[in-house]
């Protein structure tokens, strides 16, 4: 995938001021896309822009709070008016809240997280979808998570949001497919970013042991998968939810016991 098969395409990335979003911008820019770097974090988007330009890519920055539907609409309108197309939308912006059992979770944590992930994604898709339909082309990728597969103890809000993203992916794939727009999602496991810094400090060794490929995920593991969904050649790939977890979810303690027994 080292070619420039996204030359001059307009790619909007939310949550692009950090972690996976930043790496994704760099990855799509290397493939020739013009990157609309958006985030609530203004310093973060300027840093991402500098990094894109340092590799001779094209970037514009937009301060964007995905929760604010008017702001989302205004920014998307501005981008479309300027470029007359929106080819790619990556809904990546996300937050986590301090872990707590569902019965003890403060309502504000529930609200805040669902607003950013679910309402935020809905706002962005709604604002871009009609523009993509007008051009009969589009690539949309949503950020689900392993936490959206079998639940996530201590994080019911996150699990609900990320499972909701799967329903959104399937539904949008059906609604937008006739217009040449594909909609897919990624489900990363533990990826090394600012969001997981604290969890990794405490559990890195354990996670590695429980992951068949014996390492923690890195941001480019996710950006490479997303870049695949974004390629024009991936036009028959839609409604796919791709786990990117080094096999983490497959392994149980029984597997480890059997591996140990068989290695003796
Ligand atoms: P990160 O914390 O490094 O980056 C998230 C970005 O989203 C930040 O720049 C933040 O400012 C931005 N953001 C937060 N609220 C926003 C809002 N209202 N409007 C616009 N931008 C906003 O996190 P990371 O790890 O890069 O996560 C990116 C996405 O990947 C998230 O949706 C996260 O849930 C998901 N994910 C991450 C995993 C991991 O292990 N790091 C695993 C599975 C999913």
Residues 178-223: tens digit of each pLDDT: 999 999 999 999 999 999 999 999 999 999 999 999 999 999 999 9
The whole-number pLDDT of residue 2 equals 56
The answer as to whether 4 is a domain residue is: no
Q: In angstroms, what is the span from residue 113 Cα to ligand 1's centroid?
A: 11
Alpha-carbon distance of 190 to 188, in angstroms, equals 6
If one residue of 49, 97, 169, 193 were mutated to test the ligand 1 pocket, choosing by the most ligand atoms within 8 A of its CB, it would be 193
Mean pLDDT computed over 65-75 = 98
- Categorize the per-residue pLDDT at 12 as very low, low, confident or very high, splitting at 50, 70 and 90: very high
The answer as to whether 5 is a domain residue is: no
If one residue of 37, 41, 90, 94 were mutated to test the ligand 1 pocket, choosing by the most ligand atoms within 8 A of its CB, it would be 94
**Mean pLDDT in the chain?**
96
Contact 109, 157 (CB under 8 A): yes
Closest CA to 117 of 81, 87, 152: 152
The answer as to whether 3 is a domain residue is: no
Sheet holding 34-39, edge to edge: 58-63, 34-39, 10-13, 88-91, 138-143, 181-188, 241-244
Residues of the domain holding 19: 10-262
The answer as to whether 58 is a domain residue is: yes
Helix, strand, coil percentages in the chain from 3-state DSSP, rounded to 5: 55, 15, 30
- Counts for the chain of helices (H) and strands (E), in that order: 9, 7
- The residue whose CA has the least distance to atom 17 of ligand 1 is 65
Q: In angstroms, what is the span from residue 223 Cα to ligand 1's centroid?
A: 13
Ligand 1 binding pocket includes 188 (Cβ within 6 Å):
yes
Q: Is 179 a catalytic residue?
A: no
Q: What is the pLDDT of residues 122-177, one digit of tens each?
A: 999 999 999 999 999 999 999 999 999 999 999 999 999 999 999 999 999 999 99
Q: What is the pLDDT of residues 14-32, one digit of tens each?
A: 999 999 999 999 999 999 9
Rounded to two decimals, the pTM is: 0.97
The answer as to whether 71 is a domain residue is: yes
The pair of structure tokens assigned to 110 is 């529930």
CATH code of residue 186: 3.40.50.720
Q: In angstroms, what is the span from residue 178 Cα to ligand 1's centroid?
A: 30
Closest CA to 237 of 223, 249, 225, 248: 225
The whole-number pLDDT of residue 69 equals 98
For the chain, percent of residues with pLDDT exceeding 90: 95
The pair of structure tokens assigned to 135 is 């051009």
The answer as to whether 1 is a domain residue is: no
Alpha-carbon distance of 87 to 263, in angstroms, equals 50
- Categorize the per-residue pLDDT at 253 as very low, low, confident or very high, splitting at 50, 70 and 90: confident
- DSSP assignment of 241-255, as one string? EEEESTTGGG--HHH
The answer as to whether 2 is a domain residue is: no
Domain count, the chain: 1
Q: In the predicted model, is pLDDT for residue 1 greater than 60? A: no
- The single residue of 158, 170, 179, 248 carrying the catalytic annotation is 158
Ligand 1 binding pocket includes 165 (Cβ within 6 Å):
no
């Amino acid at each position: 995938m080292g070619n420039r098969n996204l030359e001059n395409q307009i790619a909007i990335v939310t949550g692009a001021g950090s972690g996976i979003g930043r790496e994704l911008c760099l990855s799509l820019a290397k493939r020739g896309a013009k990157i609309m770097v958006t985030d609530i974090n203004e310093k973060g988007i300027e840093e991402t822009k500098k990094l894109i330009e340092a590799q001779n890519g094209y970037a514009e920055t937009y301060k964007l709070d995905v929760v604010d539907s008017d702001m989302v609409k205004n920014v998307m309108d501005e981008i479309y008016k300027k470029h007359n197309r929106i080819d790619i939308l990556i809904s990546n912006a996300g937050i986590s809240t301090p872990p707590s059992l569902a019965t003890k979770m403060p309502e504000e944590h529930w609200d805040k997280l669902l607003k950013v992930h679910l309402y935020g994604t809905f706002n962005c898709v709604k604002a871009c979808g009609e523009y993509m339909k007008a051009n009969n082309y589009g690539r949309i990728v949503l950020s689900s998570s392993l936490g959206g597969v079998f639940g996530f103890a201590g994080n019911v809000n996150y699990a609900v949001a990320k499972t909701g993203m799967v329903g959104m992916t399937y539904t949008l794939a059906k609604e937008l497919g006739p217009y040449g727009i594909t909609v897919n999602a990624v489900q990363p496991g533990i990826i090394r970013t600012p969001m997981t810094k604290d969890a990794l400090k405490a559990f890195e060794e354990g996670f590695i042991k429980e992951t068949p490929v014996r390492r923690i995920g890195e941001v480019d593991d996710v950006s490479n998968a997303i870049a695949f969904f974004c390629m024009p050649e991936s036009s028959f790939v839609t409604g796919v939810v791709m786990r990117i977890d080094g096999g983490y979810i497959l392994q149980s303690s029984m597997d480890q016991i059997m591996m140990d027994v068989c290695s003796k």
